[in-house]
Amino acid sequence: MTPLLSSEHRLTPEQQAVVDQPWDARVLVTAGAGAGKTYTLVRRLDVLVEREELEAGEILVLSFSRAAVRELTERIERHAVAAQRIRVQTFDGWASALLHRAYPDVDWGTYSFDGRIEAATEALDKGAVEGGEYVPAHVMIDEVQDLIGVRREMVEALLDRFQENSGFTVVGDSAQSVYGFQVSDPDQRAEETDRFLEWVRATFGEDLVEIHLGDNFRARSDTARMALPHGSELQHLPRDRTAARGEAERIHGDLRALLLSTPNFGSLDDPFVLAALRDSPDSTAILTRDNGQALSLSGTLATAGVPHTLQRSARERSAPVWIAELLASTGTTALTRERFEDLLVGLPVPVGSAPEALWRSVRKVARGRGRGTLDVVALHRALAEGGLPDELTAAQPSSLVVSTMHRAKGLEFDRVLIVEPRVLKEPAPVRKKKYDYDPSAEARLLYVAMTRARDDLYVLDAPPSWLVRKDKRVDRWYLGGRSTWARNGIELIGADVSHEQPPGTEGLRQNAEELRRHLMADVHAGVEAELVLLHGIPVAADQSPPYAVVVGGRRIAVVSERFRTDLHRLLRRTSHSEVDRWPPLITGLRVECVESVAGSPAATEAAGLGTHGAWVAPRLCGLGRFHWYTDGPEVNTG
């Protein structure tokens, strides 16, 4: 294999000191944004494998989000020589894999994300994974400032349990703690800030090597650098809660004023602005405060035909189509590497992916019994359980990304457009309400957003999103109206297309094989999609009637039970009332991708697809708009 060794930077003495620590050292690296933390980690991985002679399998790299996993994996591929075989995992992915190994008979799929993390912590504490491959020689963790709650406890259990035989390198910046979905209670959040860093310092005391990286390499312009001085202020907020809030409000105000002093990019209603985004060769991110704004802006871009991706939640994964196609193309239960590569030739693998890297990825979850073979049954199981390696399931990058600030952490772009942040205001005392926001969290979030750019930072006009609201009962965004009850649209999520049976079979009466070919050849990411009511009869008392997914005038799938249930809840005014009308048409959606789905062999057999139990299905995204009245041509029934 020819090692990739492109664009190596000369390390600073501090970066070099991190890289050069022996494998069993306990290293804590702190730094501001863009100080090269992730880059240093990748170089350290190289040294751990090459000079310290650790096997790739002895190194455990844990990262926070799938976006970060992808970024780290890509950087390893670009920069690391020896470390190419190292696997980067999310905390949730690692916990699930550990549980499947330790207790293979338990159905872990029925546990919540946090439930699995808690069970993994218990397994570690009980010594259920002592010995064998789950004892790493070195644990490496990026972005430890975000480790809180059950995940923090799991990592503490891990480092504590294996401290005799393992070293670690943990890296973080407390100015960038943004917990997103993890903690909604501001009090708990304040308690968690810096807790892991304090635990590491207290537990490892004098054995801990603490190194601070002080430079910034990301920002190549003054604008891109403007927020950096506030990093150390955020790292050293006063201990006293009230004082910390006051100080954070001030920092947020200062950051906001700095951002507003940058050029205004304008509004996405402006055709020139849209053209500037469409034609740009640079990587660009549009960062929003919440997903409602992201959905609105993504909808505007889609209507104007500007290609982009909507950054999905760290928890949403989707398996590439070539996995189902691979399963369909072989009748055997084990594949040799040679046979695998032969089959790959005819499969739609992502552009630029090396067969060797794909082989390594699938073998991580489906290593065959024979030497150098792939276990096809285990691959099917991994697909069914959502257990494919993160590098296979991360979304394909695109040059224009619309993302919440939370989901952008750890990423970098040439150009960053930030939706104008609101002014933080204390709640009126008459309402006797607690703060409905956490000033420290808001300030850190804005700091994270403003430090993502290499070159340019702009403000973007906020979209008119007062109609876009969140429904807590279904945990989705929706399009509201003037009255509290008005419901004019619904956010689509990854789980909204039925995976019960192959497309074509459920209520569509189409030839499944012919539809499969159509999905593979003609349905592309980004194309418009709509939902069409199939009939008016609800499937169950707590569900809407079924809808067909229509793309390009053709019905290509049906919605899932989850969608039908959520739509029912969204449209029901109270828990006792009935829904008497269903929108015949829902427009404004897009195909996010076509993905692989695993099901039963009986389902594929009944559909005439073979007995391999896997197929491809579209995945939708966007904020759907209800049409309550349709006349002939508006409803496209395919």
For binding to ligand ATP (CB under 6 A), which residues are involved? 9-12, 15, 31, 33-39, 173, 176, 217-218, 410, 412, 451
227 is in an annotated binding site: no
Q: Which residues of 80-105 are buried (b: 16+ CB within 10 A; e: fewer)?
A: bbbbbebbbbbbbbbbbbbbbebeee
Q: DSSP assignment, residue 41?
A: H
Residue matched to tokens 């991110």 = 285
527 within 8 A of 591, measured Cβ to Cβ: yes
533 within 8 A of 584, measured Cβ to Cβ: yes
257 is in an annotated binding site: no
Distance CA 356, CA 358 (A): 5
536 is in an annotated binding site: no
Cβ distance to ligand ATP smaller for residue 282 or 578: 282
Cβ distance to ligand ATP smaller for residue 34 or 599: 34
Question: How distant, in Å, are the alpha carbons of 95, 155, 251, 269, 502 from that of 124?
Answer: 10, 10, 40, 53, 39
Helix/strand/coil for 350: coil
35 is in an annotated binding site: yes
Structure tokens at 307: 């290609």
CA 312 distance to own-chain centroid: 5
31 is in an annotated binding site: yes
Cβ distance to ligand ATP smaller for residue 222 or 631: 222
Cβ distance to ligand ATP smaller for residue 14 or 390: 14
Q: DSSP assignment, residue 385?
A: T
Distance CA 619, CA 591 (A): 6
- Torsion angle of alpha carbons 64, 70, 76, 82, nearest 10°? 80
Side by side, which strands form the sheet with 528-533?
468-471, 476-479, 489-492, 614-627, 585-598, 528-533, 547-551, 554-558
- Least distance to ligand ATP, CB of residue 144, Å: 11
Distance CA 384, CA 379 (A): 9
Cβ distance to ligand ATP smaller for residue 15 or 544: 15
Give the residue at shortest CB distance from ligand ATP.
Answer: 36
- Least distance to ligand ATP, CB of residue 555, Å: 43
- Least distance to ligand ATP, CB of residue 509, Å: 51
Cβ distance to ligand ATP smaller for residue 199 or 217: 217
Cβ distance to ligand ATP smaller for residue 9 or 201: 9
Q: Which residues of 371-400 are buried (b: 16+ CB within 10 A; e: fewer)?
A: eebbbbebbbebbbebbbbbbbbbbeebbb
- Least distance to ligand ATP, CB of residue 12, Å: 5
Helix H or strand E segment including 141: strand 138-141
Cβ distance to ligand ATP smaller for residue 215 or 578: 215
Helix H or strand E segment including 211: strand 208-213
33 is in an annotated binding site: yes
- Least distance to ligand ATP, CB of residue 159, Å: 21
- Least distance to ligand ATP, CB of residue 171, Å: 8
- Least distance to ligand ATP, CB of residue 39, Å: 4
Residue matched to tokens 């082989």 = 359
Cβ distance to ligand ATP smaller for residue 50 or 215: 215
Residues in the chain: 638
Residue matched to tokens 């009944």 = 606
Distance CA 601, CA 595 (A): 18
Cβ distance to ligand ATP smaller for residue 138 or 218: 218
- Least distance to ligand ATP, CB of residue 604, Å: 43
Which residue in 454, 469, 472 sits closest to 411, CA to CA?
Answer: 454
Q: How many CB atoms lie within 10 A of CB 466?
A: 9
Helix/strand/coil for 581: coil
- Least distance to ligand ATP, CB of residue 78, Å: 9
553 is in an annotated binding site: no
Cβ distance to ligand ATP smaller for residue 35 or 358: 35
Sign of CA dihedral 341, 343, 345, 350: negative
- Least distance to ligand ATP, CB of residue 176, Å: 6
Distance CA 490, CA 46 (A): 47
Cβ distance to ligand ATP smaller for residue 75 or 195: 75
- Least distance to ligand ATP, CB of residue 390, Å: 18
- Least distance to ligand ATP, CB of residue 5, Å: 14
List phi, psi (to 5°) of 312.
Answer: -85, 170
Which residue in 475, 481, 516, 515 sits closest to 493, CA to CA?
Answer: 475
- Which residues neighbour 123 within 8 Å (Cβ) at sequence distance 6 or greater? 98, 99, 102, 103, 129
- Least distance to ligand ATP, CB of residue 252, Å: 18
372 is in an annotated binding site: no
Cβ distance to ligand ATP smaller for residue 172 or 503: 172
Structure tokens at 237: 């907020």
Residues within the annotated binding site? Answer: 31-38
Residues within the annotated binding site for ATP? Answer: 31-38
